[in-house]
Structure 1
Amino acid sequence: MDNRRLILLLIFSFSILMLWDAWQKHTMPKPQAGSTVAANSAAAVPVPSASKPTPGVVPQGATAAASANVAKVTVRTDLFVAEISAQGGDLTHLELSKHLATDDPTRHFVLFDSDGQHTYLGQGGLIGEGLPNHKSLWQLKPGPVELAPGQDTLQVSLEAPASEGTVVKTYTFHRGSYLIDVAYQISGDARADHAYFQTVRDDKPAEASSKAMGVSTFTGPAIYTEEGKFQKASFEDIAKGKNKHVAKANDGWIAMVQHYFVSAWLPEGNGEREFYTRKLEGSLYAAGVIVPVSGGKAEVKLYAGPQEQDKLKRIAPGLELVVDYGWLTVIASPIFWLLGMLHKVIGNWGWSIIALTVLIKLAFFPLSAASYKSMAKMKVVTPKLMRLKELYGDDRARLNQEMMELYKKEKINPLGGCLPILIQIPVFIALYWVLLGVVEMRNAPWLGWIVDLSTKDPYYVLPLIMGATMLIQTKLNPTPPDPMQAKVMMIMPIVFTGMFLFFPSGLVLYWIVNNVLSIAQQWQITRMIAGSEKKDG
């Protein structure tokens, strides 16, 4: 196959892929307002699979729908602004004080919410006749609701009656940690065998990904066990009853994953636990874990915060896998590791991307040099190719034969120029996923007007510079003998500039630096080859 035809095929295939992803994102229907707490409250209380699968029992005094008059308490820590409702003792609102909202940087990012537009709740309860659960009305106990200076923990408790006793539900917040301890303590003669902890979420896209162009990152439940490793359960599969994951284990956790952030129920130690995912009413889905009650107490840690991989690794095995790198994880993971190492030294993600680009370019320097030498030789023999086309343009077979003879005589590999593209495409896509998926890039500035490397350049300066560098590269490449191919090659910088207008600015920065280095390398090699040809001539 002709070298230029292969290049065009690769470029067009990649262009179509990215344009299709962009079209899907921009044509995605906007979320519609709907019922939240009422629909959620209608969910049945989960039961262990070993038990008879009967509907959950609503205890005496419970209500099937939240009332507007239900008491709520606002809790403030160094990392959270949380709202806990007496309805079910649910965690109904959770702001992350260290992270800004995507659409309005004057506000905090909201992870849990129940405002009628979006539903994302933390729930739980005890399983059994006459025991309080997420449908019950709890009594908020008096006590501090703000983490005081110098205080390391803050406990907020609720109480509910149970048959022959009471149950106290306690949230424990920790300074400097996105981990929240959620515990049930039974007193009196009440008895319970199992407790459940679940998140309930609608299937609407995450707020953080509303401006991200391209492939949507995964949103939905994920389960990790030593037996099944990391398993995703998409909302679509859950709705169809096709969700397959480990249901029972003595280890592991269950999470609700979305772009940049995650909430995960993390039972401690090795012990019996049962994971479940289910479709509720409307657009709601539940993902939770059932654990045994021991000594009248059941406790599970809830992580609700950013997907910071280095910290997630230390919290629970496999928790860092919630970061979605798509199908190029094997390349994206080491790229981000190296990028993180550079950031520790440099201290700025933009300059770290530039340093990463230089290192990648150096790693592939020998291969790129061989490719550019091939392209430089192709440029030198282009007049001879044009002459052959004039002589044998009507005889395709003879033309191809003469071209092969010329390549052999000049010691040229006609496919050698494709290697830089073949190498760069997987690295490009992997870096695209890194910049799209890692929370460290969110709101990360570079310099001047680039205040967020994970979003597009607001003034389109970087994409225009990238287009100019592509145009220069095209001029340095050998001119295709076919006039139509030559025109298409000249149009490609315009096409790519149009696409890069909406790409994350960090990715455009990488491509600019890569192009500049390629131009310098290609110009030097072309100059050397041309000089050598003149001496030989």
Structure 2
Amino acid sequence: MDIKRTVLWAIFFVSAIMLFDNWQREHGRQSMFFPNPAATHSASAPATSAPGASGTGSEVAAPASNTAPATAATAPGTPAQQPAPAAQLIHFSTDVYDGEIDTRGGTLEKLTLTRKSDPKQGDLNITLFDRTANHTYLARTGLIGGDFPNHNDVFTALPGPRSLTDDQKSFQISLESPVKGGVKVVKTYTFTRGSFVIGVDTKIENVGTAPVTPSVYMELVRDSTPVDTPRFSHTFLGPAVYTNEHHFQKISFSDIDKNKAEYATSGNSGWIAMVQHYFASAWIPREGAKRDIYVEKIDPTLYRVGITEPVATVAPGQSVDVSARLFAGPEEERILEGVAPGLDLVKDYGWVTIIAKPLFWLLEKIYGFVGNWGWAIVLLTLLIKAVFFPLSAASYKSMARMKEITPRMQALRERFKSDPQKMNAALMELYKTEKVNPFGGCLPIVIQIPVFISLYWVLLSSVEMRGAPWVLWIHDLSQQDPYYILPVLMAVSMFVQTKLNPTPPDPVQAKMMMFMPIAFSVMFFFFPSGLVLYYVVNNVLSIAQQYYITRMMGTQKKSKPA
């Protein structure tokens, strides 16, 4: 029997490991045993095409247009067949950004969010947009509906400032395209002090002899390279679409691969975004402007989400401006709410959003009072435990009563082990006589589960934890405990809770309950310290509550006359 049980346990552990590894691979993460093709990128030039027709090499198909289909993305050769001018990178900086604009297409090619930090915390800067041999993430625009300037054409940077001076609130960088199809484009980026929103203006000038009806496209292009997230936890990575009619829609890379992506394809409101852990980027066109939305795979390793916005017919000698905003920054709810309706949903809590958002609001209010996110977590957990104390008390009282009658239950099971029907009847009679509800300890806990799951997602999703210190050795609540003190405390607290609970009558179940603290502590060794802090405080408060209630019941029992 012992050998069989050992074999079964071995099969269980191997199966669990393989299931976890498959889950990692399914979500685009590095496998523990096999190379992950999603994370391996070709060193060839990344896709740089305009939306509409197919291209080759460094050129990709452009988004479909409701007007005339776009021609090949490459610029036709001039009569003299002169080589195209070489592209340049324009460096710029603000108080929140450091980046580069590629004159090829006027594409925002590199964007680093800068943040000053305590030397103990290290570099807290994060690079969103980037183009390297192993990673691509871009924000780009252009025209379709004809042989018009797009993101493959080399623009000319116009003179102007490239950074904020001490007395400036904003500055602009303008780039001018070559004339194509009788059209010239002047693209202007506006950077504002303290803002994660970039104004992007596209001025379309008809310098030809015939009217033109182009459409402007705005898109985010990204590979599926996973971002750094805590082990044993999954956060969403991929495109998202929002319209007033269909609200927030996430699209996974795997659904795009399988042609199963479902999203709103048109509208006159909303935005499109690329979402990752803690950070997001989003194109926000003018409210009320008609737009078509597209999400597609354009390369074995590249995906894009974009918007095409039709432009009214532009007569010869006339021009039209198409303005939009590009958000690129942290998923801080207060910032997102002020940028565009619904943009705060990129901080995704999933199905527990209705509970998680009020919890974060409360956590934020507590932080405003104490000025430390770690102590805010402690106080919020304490407050939640106080609110649920009546339910917890009912649960612990029920468990205490069950613990008292456990020896009698085991005796009945042993006595009637050959007759399950009589055993069940005897157990029910025991419950009735002792006025014990076998499910009384579970129901109050089940009611609290959505709240504690919501708080888990609040702490996992909140970029405010990034770089936030608590005390002593905890300098960043978004990173794992460097000395594993909190995970050890977590394991100890779980072990104490296990000893306080009634011992399961089944020996296998009893062993599993004793094994659980070890299994969970392995995961908690890799969890962010803010999450582990929450669980440690919750467990310590639960132990205190359970001890107090059990002791109180014992005192009451002794005080009763015999």
Q: Establish whether TM, by shorter chain, passes 0.5.
A: yes
CA distance in 1, matches of 2:169, 2:393: 58
Q: d(CA) in 2 for partners of 1:158 and 1:37?
A: 23
Partner of 1:20: 20
> 1:90-142: CA deviations, max 9, x gaps?
11100001288xxx943621000001110011111122434211010111122
Cα shift at 1:22: 10
Kindly provide the CA deviation profile for residues 153-199 of structure 1, in whole angstroms up to 9, marking residues without a partner as x: 11111112224463211111111101111112234524453211111
The verdict on how the C-alpha distance between 1:182 and 1:61 changes in structure 2, with shifts beyond 3 A counting, is: farther
Q: Does 2:223 correspond to 1:202?
A: yes
Which residue of structure 1 aligns with residue 56 of structure 2? none
| Long gaps (5+) in structure 2 | 1-11, 50-58, 313-318
Deviation at 1:57, TM superposition (A): 4.8
2:493 is matched with 469
The correspondence for 2:47, drawn from 39, 42, 47, is: 39
CA contact (8 A) 1:170 1:182 kept: yes
Partner of 1:279: 297
Corresponding position: 1:261 with 2:279: yes
- Alpha-carbon spacing, 1:118–1:158, altered in 2? closer, same or farther (3 Å): same
SS of alignment partner, residue 495 of structure 2: helix
Alignment pair present for 1:500 and 2:524: yes
Q: CA deviation at 1:525?
A: 1.5
- Tell me how far 1:507 sits from its aligned partner: 1.8
What is the SS of the residue equivalent to 1:217? coil
Q: Residue 146 of structure 2: which of 122, 129, 132 is its match?
A: 129
Q: 1:163-174 residue pairs with structure 2 within 5 A?
A: 163-164=181-182, 166-174=184-192
Q: Which residue of 2 aligns with 1:350?
A: 374
Q: 1:412-427 counterparts in 2 under 5 A?
A: 412-427=436-451
Q: Would the aligned equivalents of 1:456 and 1:502 in 2 still touch at CA under 8 Å? A: yes
RMSD between superposed Cα atoms in Å: 2.8
Q: 1:37 offset after TM fit, Å? A: 4.2
Identity of aligned residues (%): 50
- 1:51 equivalent among 62, 67, 71: 67
* Contact 2:154/2:178 (8 A) holds in 1: no
Residue 151 (1) aligns with residue 159 (2)? no
Q: Which has the higher contact order (CA 8 A, sep 6+)?
A: 1
Distance across 2 between alignment mates of 1:440 and 1:339: 11
Tell me the amino acid that sits aligned with residue 168 of structure 1: V
Distance 2:508 2:262 in 1: 51
Q: What pairs up with 1:43-442 in 2 under 5 angstroms?
A: 43-48=60-65, 50-60=66-76, 69-98=86-115, 105-106=122-123, 108-162=125-179, 163-164=181-182, 166-187=184-205, 189-190=207-208, 191-206=212-227, 210-293=228-311, 295-442=319-466
Amino acid at match of 2:152: K
In the aligned structure 2, how far is the partner of 1:344 from the partner of 1:497? 32
Asked if the contact 2:21–2:31 (Cα under 8 Å) also holds between the matched residues in 1, the reply is no
Distance (Å, rounded) in 2 between the aligned partners of 1:98 and 1:469: 37
Q: CA shift at 1:409, angstroms?
A: 1.1
The CA distance in 1 between the partners of 2:356 and 2:85, in whole Å, is 47
In the other structure, the counterpart of 1:3 is none
Instruction: Tell which deviates more after alignment, 407-416 or 391-400.
Output: 391-400
**Secondary structure of 1:413 counterpart:** coil
The verdict on how the C-alpha distance between 1:184 and 1:37 changes in structure 2, with shifts beyond 3 A counting, is farther
How far is the alpha carbon of 1:463 from its aligned partner?
Answer: 1.2
* TM-score, L = length of structure 2: 0.84
Post-superposition offset of 1:460: 1.3
CA distance in 2, matches of 1:488, 1:377: 22
| Structure 2 counterpart of 1:20, one-letter code | F
TM-score (norm 1): 0.88
* Mean Cα deviation higher: 452-461 or 423-432: 423-432
C-alpha spacing 1:256/1:390, structure 2 compared with 1 (3 Å):
closer
Aligned-pair distance for 1:302? Answer: 0.5
Q: Where does the alignment leave 5 or more consecutive residues of structure 1 unmatched? A: 1-11
When structure 1 is superposed on structure 2, of 172-181 and 443-452 the one drifting more is 443-452
The one-letter amino acid paired with 1:82 is G
Task: Please state whether the residue corresponding to 2:167 is helix, strand or coil.
Answer: coil
SS in 2 for 1:324: coil
Structure 1 stretch displaced more, 143-152 or 482-491: 482-491
For 1:468-521, what per-residue CA distance to the aligned partner results, in whole angstroms no more than 9, with x for missing partners? 112222222223344443333222222222222222222221111111111111
Q: How many residues align?
A: 514
Question: Is contact 1:126–1:192 with CA below 8 Å preserved after alignment?
Answer: no
Whether the aligned pair in 2 keeps the contact of 1:368 and 1:419 (CA below 8 Å) is no
Residues 90 and 122 of structure 1 are in contact (CA less than 8 Å); yes or no, is this contact kept in structure 2? yes
Q: What's the secondary structure of 1:296's corresponding residue?
A: strand
The answer to whether the 8 Å contact 2:268/2:288 transfers is: yes
Give the drift of 1:404.
1.7
Q: Which amino acid aligns with 2:31?
A: T
Tell me if the contact between 1:139 and 1:159 (Cα under 8 Å) persists in the aligned partners: yes
**Alpha carbons of 1:478 and 1:215: their partners in 2 closer, same or farther (altered >3 Å)?**
closer
